[in-house]
Each structure stands twice: as structure tokens, then as C-alpha cells.
Chains A and B, each alone.
Chain A
Amino acid sequence: MTTYIVIDIDTQTKLIDFSQINTTSSQTMIRNVANTQAMLSYQITPSFITNGRVDPISTLDHDQALALLATPEWTQPDPGPEE
């Protein structure tokens, strides 16, 4: 079971130990359109969540994560593959 968390990029990214989660690095985490929040995922709860060092904005399951990603804050309709 994969768990997804949404974090504030400015304040939380530096607290993430990427070796404990699925996301490879801050360069590959999925971000909202405003580039203020990011979504991370893991199967086993990382210690930075257990010990409270990282304070997620929200914790989601897969369906909830996809629903969030479908909102205008996180995605945009593809304008068509034209430059």
C-alpha cells in the first residue's frame, strides 16, 4: 500500500531523507503548478514522519492523490503538443 504526502517545498524539502521513500530526489518529485507544494510517496512510513520532523500538509491514498493531481492547482489541460 503506497501512501502519498503533500509537503510545502520551501520549508520541508530539506528535511526529507529521500533514501526512505519512493521519490528519488527533490529534482524528480511531482510539484504543483505554482511550485509551492510537492507530492512524495512511500510504502513504509519513513522515520521523519514517525518522529514528526516533517509535517505534511496532507496524507493521501492513491485515488485521493490522483484526484488531487487532476485539479487545476496541480495540472493543466494539455494545450496540444505544439511549441
Chain B
Amino acid sequence: MDQNNLVNNNVSALNGVSAGMDTTNLVKDNLTRKKPFSSYSIRFDAASADYAITQSGIDSILSGATSFTISSWINFSDASALRPIATNWVSSSTSYNYILRYYQSQIQFYVRANGSTGNATYSFTPDLNRWYNIVGTWNGSGGPINIYIDGVAGGVQGTRSGTMPTITTSEMFGRYVSSVNYYHDGKLSNIAYWKNQLLTENDILNIYNNGISQDLNNFKIPPTNWYPMDESHTYFDGTNLILRDAISGRDATGYNINQENILGNAPGSEANGTGTNLTIAYLKSNMKNSINNSYSINMADYADSVINPANSGRSIDRP
């Protein structure tokens, strides 16, 4: 007798039998479905001129890049006008570097290197209030510029060979500065950069992850900068909403946005509740089988550059 005799017809009479395969044919599936990394996102209102921006005057994320990949999650409330995703393109500063945006039923991705611009386009009419994963890739060697929507490459490939210049202007999320300012109207989540890394189509399909955000620290190629824009990586500093860079600390500062803009709606997690008129005092250390908890109030784990910063014992674990 051999394994062909191991059939239990009481369980299933429709078992398949492989031919010419053994256990070495078992491969680990690199597509996973699990709890979303982010349950909240940031809402950007074009009519309120909402945007976030990184610090200028220092080398920007893609300064001197020879290739890069940008991944973003976007959800449109209105798609009747130009809606920027991530840009570093400021006409008034004659600093032209890249633009990832939606305009005129296209995702458009512009890259400037060696003094000239190339761009890819991808025809796209978004459903409103639905999450999309938009990825742009550029390889300065040979110059291909590509766009992926929900893990699928498409549209018209662009070309621009070379190296990006030294860039000291800011990354902007949800804003594009041209002759006038353009703003996103909807939500953004988990914008990540891979400088000098050209992710493959398989990598990008993994990022899409069936429409669910994931912990990019555990991604096989960790990004160089990552803005989760969620409940764990966003805080209000008293004036502005700060969007943490979970990789390298190059935080972005939100303008015209505050705690009201943190919504319980994120890729793969669209039914979270948001408290109204609830304060920290309503957070009770008492729940089923767990009644003796404690929590801190007004303690900051991220109190950089102050005298005697609060130290709860996890000061390197920034929100």
C-alpha cells in the first residue's frame, strides 16, 4: 500500500491526487490577508486647503535619487478637479522634482531628472469613497516611469533617464503648488517612499495586499520613509497635526487639519467609530477580565528638545 490508499471517503469523496509533485512543490504564499495595520486615516478637505508638509531647507527624501518608488492609499470624496497625492514641485522656488496626482481622469506621475521631465499616465475614473493603492516607480537607469493601481501596472509608460538633483524643498501631501494651489478632497493613508529602490510588480502586488494596509517595517524591502497617517502615528501638538514618519523621523506637519481630520476609515478598515465629545477621562481602565489597568495622562513619549522630557519607559517608541 502507498499513499494512494489513504482516502477517507467519509470526509470527502472529491480529493485530488497530484502527479509528479512532492513536498518541495509547497511554496510559501506571499499574499496575506490579516488585520489592517491602520484603522484610521487623515481626511483632507480641498475647500479648507488641507495639506501636510515636511521640513524644507534640508535634503528632501528623494534628493539625489537614482530610482525610487512611492506607494500611497487614496480615497476620493470629490474627483472633479486636480487632486494631488504626493508632490515636491514648487513653481515659485523653481524646484521641480516629482508629482503624483489625479487630474482629468488620469493618475499622472511626473519625474524630473537631469533637467528634463518625463511622465506616465494611467486612465482612471475613481469611485468616490473607495480606497485605491496608487504606486509610482522610476528608474533613472533607462528612465522608465510606471504607475500601478491596486497592484496592476498600466497606462502609458513615461521615460526620463538620469539622477534627481539635490532637493531641499518640502514633500507635500494633498497639495500641489502651481500657478494656484491645488488640494486633495478625500482621505490619504500610508504614503511610503523607497529611495533608490525600484520595487517589482510582485512587490507592489504585495503592498496592495488585497486592499489592506500592512506593517511596512516587516515588508521584505522596508521603505526609507513611511507616513502611516493613522491613529498610532499622528498627534496634535497644540497647533498642528503632526504626521509621523515611522521609519526615519522626517515628520510632516499638517496645516488646516486637526484631530477632527483623523477618521475611522482606512484601507481594509472602513467601519470604525469615532467618538464625539469624548475626552481622555472617558478612557476607563476596566473591562472584562481586566479591571486593574492604569494609563498615563499628559505624558509625552516624544518630548524631544525639552528640558526633563517625560519618560514613561518607552520613550523610543514614538506614537
User: What residues of chain A have their CB less than 8 Å away from a CB belonging to chain B?
Assistant: 2, 4, 22-24, 28-30, 33, 39-41, 43, 60, 62, 65-66, 69-70, 74-76, 78-79, 81-83
Contact = CB atoms under 8 A, between A and B. Distances in A.
B181 A30 contact: yes
B52 to A, nearest CB: 11
A43 B45 CA distance: 13
- The 7 closest A-B CB pairs, nearest first, are A65-B47, A30-B49, A41-B48, A28-B255, A24-B255, A23-B256, A81-B110
B49 A66 contact: no
Given A75-B180, A78-B82, A81-B89, A22 B260 contact: yes
B89 A23 contact: no
B180 A33 contact: yes
B103 A66 contact: no
Q: Which of A29, A43, A69, A76 has the largest count of B CB atoms less than 10 A from its CB?
A: A69
Interface string B293-317: 0000000000000000000000000
Given A24-B240, A69-B47, A81 B82 contact: no
A66 B82 CA distance: 12
A39 B91 CA distance: 23
A24 B256 contact: yes
Contact of B178 (A22, A40, A41, A78): A78
A23 to B, nearest CB: 5
B89 A79 contact: no
B251 interface: no
B112 to A, nearest CB: 9
Nearest to A63: B78
A74 B255 CA distance: 20
Interface in B79-93: 80-82, 89, 91
